[in-house]
Amino acid sequence: MRLWEDNDVSKKRASGLLLESIASPSRATNPQYAGGESRFVKLLTSGGQHIGTLHEIVMPDGSVPHSHPKDYTLRDCRRVREPEKG
């Protein structure tokens, strides 16, 4: 988890710098998330390199009450950043 945070993976995902591929969406089985969809999301660089996977529950209203990294490939993604302006 520390490497995930050190490389700002969540921030990069939120800003659209990483590509996402949803694998095997299914109905959430935990009653706490009734009606929600369980998703495993592969995160990729713009070049298509897999850098990590996370699990999340998405509710019908679009909220995400549960999200956490499942793996991190240990690739150095510090180079994944927004284009320089100017």
- For the chain, the domains span 2-72
Mean pLDDT, the chain, whole residue set: 84
Q: Evaluate whether 73 touches 9 at the Cβ level (below 8 Å).
A: no
Residue closest to 70 by CA, chosen among 48, 44, 43, 49: 43
Q: Residue 37 pLDDT > 80, yes or no?
A: yes
Q: Where are the alpha helices (DSSP H) in the chain?
A: 2-6, 9-14
| Average pLDDT value for residue range 71-75 | 64
Percent of the chain with pLDDT strictly greater than 70: 81
The pTM of this model reads 0.74
